[in-house]
Amino acid sequence: MALSWLILLILLIIPPTKGNSDSLKGCLQVALDHAMAVRANVYSLGNTCRDEMEKAAWVDCLELHDSIVTILNQTLDYTRKPSASDVQTWLSTALTNLETCKEGFVDLKKADNSNVMPLIFKNNLGVLIGNCLAENKENYDSEKRSFPPICLSSEDRKLLRYYSGVVPDIVVAQNGSGKYKTVGEALAMAASKRRGNKRFVIYVMAGVYVENVNITSSRIMLVGDGIGKTIITGNNSVGGGFTTFKTPTVAVTGEGFTARGITFRNTAGPQNHQAVALLSSSDCSAFYQCSFEGYQDTLCVLANRQFYRECDIYGTVDFIFGNAAAVFQNCNIFARNSPSKINTLTAQGRTNPNQTTGIIIQNCKVTAASDFAPYQDTVKTFLGRPWRNYSRTVFMKTFLDNLIDPAGWMPWRKGELVPNTLFYGEYLNTGNGSSTANRVKWPGFHVITSLDEASDFTVEKFVDGDYWLPGTKIPFKAGL
């Protein structure tokens, strides 16, 4: 025990060296050992919660710390042969989980008077994970990515036809014509029926499914009958007493998730504040021709590598948010009428310069939703605001209609200092709202003019998509 604490002290004091695989393994092992001790401590704190609100935030932290231990185990599982990109992605997610744990106490207004929160974070786990991120950075930067990341299965390469050629494993039909009437029932059966690494296909027929769904199994594919036809809807919200992490109508954590032709909806309304329609922390998850409908915090791209193609996203405040590496291509982004008189399309949550994360909007269209068009002159709409110090968001070759405020971006709160460490970029956008002449004068705002710089934010380079997206059979553009 004394030796392990000595090693921990050395790792905290000495800056990490980069590129040494043995040093990286040692860093990961110490982080894992510490994470397991922290998790045990978190489990022991349940009886110290003062009320149900504080307990709800603590329950989130249990789940998130379990996930951190799983992630660190993955990075050390060399039978899976993780690439440097995999390791950097997963370590980014581990740090995001710590922030999400904290955020639950903030959501429920328990951060300033919590017995539990100070005890959960009275440790150096975030520092240790950050050291491992720095340790692996050189490997990540130099990796040629000559092999697929682990999200790609050999089974994917056998799918020669598009979705219409995929025979579903389970059919869900609200009218009773299928074996299952709810998505939740089908998922419970999928967990017991799926074999090997093959994608498990669940066809959800047209209908309105009022349920909250949690997808933890890997390589699940949900196929619906189209936007506005197959609808999964719920109404959990922070205003209703939930943490943001527990508001999603659909939450996905199992890796390799795909969805096509489904509407994900949260009907809590703008008066109930944060209310997520879909939350994804699924690595190598992809969404095609789906709709995400809500107001504040509609779509949570929480963590890992994600891709969205030809999707519709509706909302008001921070309605695309999180700390994933997420690319949106050919999507429609609709701002709605906000009671606060301010709309922000994005709120990206990067906390460490070595995290691989950011929100990339490419070849999309930003316009007013039909309920907002009559009021858009009375509401200011911005491209985003910095949720965390290293917030990173880029709009590329996207149509920005005249609802976008000339400043483009806003501080997290009015009058608040903006961190110099953020990165906001715009590249070859079009439309009446695309002029950068009167944009903010922040050091972290960039009008990108270099093709090479813009290429860093493409599917190929930002989410390794040219390796794993072909297996999903979802169309995509690897470059600009």
Alpha carbons 453 and 461: distance in angstroms, whole number: 11
pLDDT at 156 over 80: no
376: which residues sit within 8 A by CB, 6+ positions away?
335, 368, 403
pLDDT digits over 262-281, tens only?
999 999 999 999 999 999 99
Give the type of residue at 195.
R
Ranges 152-161, 207-216, 395-404, 449-458: which has the least confidence: 152-161
Query: Tokens representing 1?
Result: 């025990």
Q: What is the pLDDT of residue 163?
A: 44
Is residue 412 within 8 Å of 387, Cβ to Cβ?
A: yes
Alpha carbons 316 and 336: distance in angstroms, whole number: 5
Q: Could you tell me the pLDDT band of residue 178, with boundaries at 50, 70 and 90?
A: confident
Q: Looking at residues 444-458, what average pLDDT do you find?
A: 97
- The helix, strand and coil proportions of the chain, stated in percent and rounded to the nearest 5, come to 30, 25, 45
Alpha carbons 313 and 303: distance in angstroms, whole number: 18
Query: Tokens representing 385?
Result: 């605001």
Q: Could you tell me the pLDDT band of residue 12, with boundaries at 50, 70 and 90?
A: very low
188: which residues sit within 8 A by CB, 6+ positions away?
none
Q: By C-alpha distance, which of 62, 90, 66, 63 is closest to 76? A: 90
477: which residues sit within 8 A by CB, 6+ positions away?
329, 362, 363, 458, 459
Ranges 7-11, 244-248, 412-416, 476-480: which has the least confidence: 7-11
Radius of gyration of the CA atoms of the chain, in A? 22
Q: Could you tell me the pLDDT band of residue 60, with boundaries at 50, 70 and 90?
A: very high
Whole-number mean pLDDT of the chain? Answer: 91
Is residue 358 within 8 Å of 348, Cβ to Cβ?
A: yes
Q: What is the pLDDT of residue 5?
A: 46
Out of 318, 401, 405, 464, the active site residue is 318
Enumerate the H helices of 243-349 as residue ranges. none
Out of 297, 312, 401, 464, the active site residue is 297
State what percent of residues in the chain have pLDDT above 70.
Answer: 91
Q: Looking at residues 191-215, what average pLDDT do you find?
A: 90
pLDDT at 164 over 60: no
Is position 318 annotated as part of the catalytic site? yes
The answer to pTM > 0.85 is yes
Ranges 38-52, 83-97, 142-156, 163-177: which has the least confidence: 142-156
Phi-psi region at 246: left, alpha or beta (left = phi > 0; alpha = psi -120 to 50): alpha
Q: What is the pLDDT of residue 167?
A: 81
Q: What is the pLDDT of residue 79?
A: 80
Alpha carbons 462 and 348: distance in angstroms, whole number: 15
pLDDT at 173 over 90: yes
Alpha carbons 99 and 93: distance in angstroms, whole number: 10
pLDDT digits over 413-445, tens only?
988 999 999 999 999 999 999 999 999 999 999
State what percent of residues in the chain have pLDDT above 90.
Answer: 80
Residue 280 phi, psi dihedral angles, 5° rounding = -125, 125
pLDDT digits over 73-132, tens only?
999 988 878 999 999 999 999 999 999 999 999 999 999 889 899 999 988 999 999 999
Q: What is the pLDDT of residue 152?
A: 66
Q: What is the pLDDT of residue 326?
A: 98
pLDDT digits over 273-308, tens only?
999 999 999 999 999 999 999 999 999 999 999 999
Give the type of residue at 54.
E
pLDDT digits over 346-385, tens only?
999 999 999 999 999 999 999 999 989 888 889 999 999 9
Ranges 19-23, 37-41, 441-445, 454-458: which has the least confidence: 19-23
What is the separation, in whole angstroms, between the first and last Cα of the chain? 53
154: which residues sit within 8 A by CB, 6+ positions away?
197
Q: Is 269 helix (H, G, I), strand (E, B) or coil?
A: coil
Is position 297 annotated as part of the catalytic site? yes
